[in-house]
């Protein structure tokens, strides 16, 4: 079976620094994969390669069996891959409705050229409402993004990625900066959203081991640019040395 998303012997160097070193991993349909590892392990670099934002120094990145190295985020979203960034990418002055609409429009623009302006507007509004409902943001539609709580900002960021209607979604620390009490509700919301939207796989970069333990089907641990482990949660959490390496060098954040 062709993996949804796969890297084959991927390395990425920044000058003399080797950020990723021969990383091979794959993601199959129905999986939620967590990518874990200490600060600087190469997690975000891996996401950047998996979403075609960066070109590997060597090796291949395949989405649905096609090489997507350096393809760029716009083209990739058209093909069914969406992501969020470690630092949220929302415009503070846009409202929640405008933010979601921007994603909805960019996804649907081809189809909407065929519709009248009026029915296109109605369809956009309906879809924005639908996405807002899934993420519990309906009552916030008219608020500017800057007025949202940190948890709501994170949800809005994730909602924008979902509005692209992707097959696979990559989330780089979707709960960072959010209070511990809000982390589980955010994860539950986004997993429920993925089910409703028919998202086939989720890649989650996450530092919080409670969340990793609760939601992952498989855990990929990176350290110094290499795959240290690729295991189901029960086996991962049975290895104290592994856990120590993964969380050991954490920066306070």
Ligand X SMILES: Nc1ncnc2c1ncn2[C@@H]1O[C@H](COP(=O)(O)OP(=O)(O)OP(=O)(O)O)[C@@H](O)[C@H]1O
Q: Closest CB to ligand X among 19 and 68? A: 19
Contacts (CB under 6 A) with ligand X, residues 16-55: 17, 19, 37, 39-45
The binder of 37, among Mg ion, ligand X, none, by C-beta within 5 to 8 A per type, is ligand X
The binder of 40, among ligand X, Mg ion, none, by C-beta within 5 to 8 A per type, is ligand X
Cβ neighbourhood burial of 109 (10 Å; 0-12, 13-18, 19+): exposed
Contacts (CB under 6 A) with ligand X, residues 76-135: 86
Q: Closest CB to ligand X among 38 and 166? A: 38
CB 213 within 8 A of CB 183: no
Sole residue written with tokens 């990176």: 222
Tell the smallest beta-carbon distance from residue 47 to Mg ion (Å).
8
The binder of 14, among Mg ion, ligand X, none, by C-beta within 5 to 8 A per type, is ligand X
Give the span between the Cα atoms of 50 and 178, in whole angstroms. Answer: 25
Mark the segment that binds Mg ion (CB under 5 A) among 44-52, 144-152, 176-184, 193-201: 44-52
Instruction: Check residue 7 for interaction with ligand X (CB under 6 A).
Output: no
Q: Closest CB to ligand X among 43 and 200? A: 43
Q: Closest CB to ligand X among 19 and 164? A: 19
The binder of 89, among Mg ion, ligand X, none, by C-beta within 5 to 8 A per type, is none
CA-to-CA dists, residue 158 to 1, 84, 85, 208, angstroms: 29, 6, 9, 18
Mark the segment that binds ligand X (CB under 6 A) among 11-19, 59-67, 72-80, 122-130: 11-19
Question: Per DSSP, what are the bridge partners of residue 112?
Answer: none
Longest Cα–Cα distance in the chain: 61
Termini Cα distance of the chain: 40
**Binds Mg ion (CB under 5 A): choice among 7, 44, 48, 84:** 44
Sort residue 163 into left (φ over 0), alpha (ψ -120 to 50) or beta: alpha
Q: What are the backbone angles phi and psi of residue 103, rounded to the nearest 5°?
A: -70, -45
Give the span between the Cα atoms of 32 and 145, in whole angstroms. Answer: 28
Give the span between the Cα atoms of 193 and 196, in whole angstroms. Answer: 5
Q: Closest CB to ligand X among 39 and 58? A: 39
DSSP collapsed to 3 states, 157-191: HHHHHHCCCCCEEEEECCCCCCCHHHHHHHHHHHH
Instruction: Check residue 183 for interaction with ligand X (CB under 6 A).
Output: no
Give the span between the Cα atoms of 12 and 123, in whole angstroms. Answer: 42
Tell the smallest beta-carbon distance from residue 206 to Mg ion (Å).
10
Mark the segment that binds ligand X (CB under 6 A) among 12-20, 26-34, 148-156, 233-241: 12-20
Binding residues vs ligand X (CB under 6 A)? 14, 17, 19, 37, 39-45, 86
């Amino acid at each position: 079976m062709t993996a949804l998303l796969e890297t084959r012997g991927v390395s990425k160097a920044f000058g003399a620094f080797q950020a990723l070193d021969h990383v091979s991993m794959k993601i199959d349909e129905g999986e939620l994969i967590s990518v874990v590892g200490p600060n600087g392990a190469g997690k975000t670099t891996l996401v950047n390669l998996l979403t075609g934002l960066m070109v590997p120094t060597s090796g291949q990145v395949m989405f649905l069996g096609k090489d997507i190295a350096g393809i760029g985020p716009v083209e990739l979203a058209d093909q069914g891959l969406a992501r969020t960034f470690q630092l949220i990418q929302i415009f503070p002055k846009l409202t929640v409705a405008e933010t979601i609409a921007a994603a909805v429009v960019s996804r649907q623009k081809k189809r909407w050229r065929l519709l009248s302006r009026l029915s296109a507007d109605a369809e956009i509004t309906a879809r924005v409402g639908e996405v807002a409902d899934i993420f519990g943001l309906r009552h916030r539609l008219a608020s500017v993004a800057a007025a949202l709580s940190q948890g709501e900002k994170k949800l809005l960021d994730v909602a924008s990625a979902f509005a692209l209607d992707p097959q696979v979604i990559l989330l780089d620390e979707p709960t960072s900066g959010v209070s511990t009490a809000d982390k589980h509700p955010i994860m539950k919301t986004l997993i429920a959203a993925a089910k409703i939207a028919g998202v086939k796989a989720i890649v989650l970069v996450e530092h919080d081991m409670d969340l990793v333990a609760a939601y992952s089907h498989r855990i990929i641990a990176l350290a110094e640019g290499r795959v240290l482990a690729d295991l189901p949660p029960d086996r991962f959490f049975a290895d104290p040395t592994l856990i120590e390496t993964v969380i050991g060098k954490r920066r306070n954040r």
